[in-house]
Amino acid sequence: MNYLKTIYYLISFTIVTSLSTGISASDNFNEVLQLDRAKLELKRENFIAKTLMLSTDESKQFWPLYKEYRKAVSNIDTKTIQLLKDYAKSYNNNEVSNEIANRLMSEFLQVDLSRINLKARYMKKFTKKLPAKLVWRYFHAENNLDTMIRYAYISQIPLVKQ
């Protein structure tokens, strides 16, 4: 579990640093964010490897599919980050109108649906190549990490003003 704490602290630091700088759209911020995302992804991969303890045959089946899945998740995460930046900009400028709120709600819902649909597709792909218990263990670990990440950034985002 110590490794999990390390991941959590990296997540928290990345998000708190990002949000405390006002989420600027500068190239420097985007470079730092990409670097932090890459570090986090490496930590995630190491955690998954330690959690699953795959055999050689399982590894040959798992890792290419894992990388494909995580690349698709990264695209969704990029959209989430952009939506958070949009919200932060509107919030910081005190410009969260009903129109903006409706747009953000709709777009965040679409991101959530995309994530669920992607996960469902890949659960099927993984179970075609690997035992269901192993796939379940993997997605359980993924869900735990995703929950920590969501908590870390959600706890830093202020509610929209009335």
Can you give the three-state secondary structure of 114-142, one letter per residue?
Answer: HHHHHHHHHHHHHHHHCCHHHHHHHHHHH
Q: Per-domain residue ranges for the chain?
A: 2-154
Residue 112 CA, chain-centre distance (Å), reads 11
pLDDT of residue 9: 52
Do residues 53 and 117 touch, judged by C-beta distance below 8 A?
Answer: no
- pLDDT value of residue 5: 54
Instruction: Measure CA 138 to chain center.
Output: 15
Q: Which amino acid is at 154?
A: I
Taking the CB of residue 63, how many other CB atoms lie within 10 A of it?
A: 14
Would you give per-residue pLDDT tens digits along the chain (162 residues)?
455 555 555 555 555 545 444 444 454 555 555 657 788 888 899 999 999 999 999 999 999 999 999 999 999 998 988 888 888 888 888 888 999 999 999 999 999 999 999 999 999 999 999 999 999 999 999 999 888 888 877 777 778 887
* pLDDT of res. 10: 52
Per residue in 113-124, pLDDT (tens digit) is 999 999 999 999
| Confidence at residue 20, expressed as pLDDT on a 0 to 100 scale | 46
Q: What are phi and psi of 161, to 5 degrees?
A: -75, 150
Q: Do 156 and 84 form a contact (C-beta atoms < 8 A)?
A: no
Give which of 76, 51, 74 is closest to 62, Cα–Cα: 51
**pLDDT at position 132, please?**
98
Can you tell me the distance from the alpha carbon of 119 to that of 69, in angstroms, rounded to the nearest whole number?
Answer: 8
pLDDT in the model for residue 49: 96
Give the per-residue pLDDT at 23.
Answer: 46
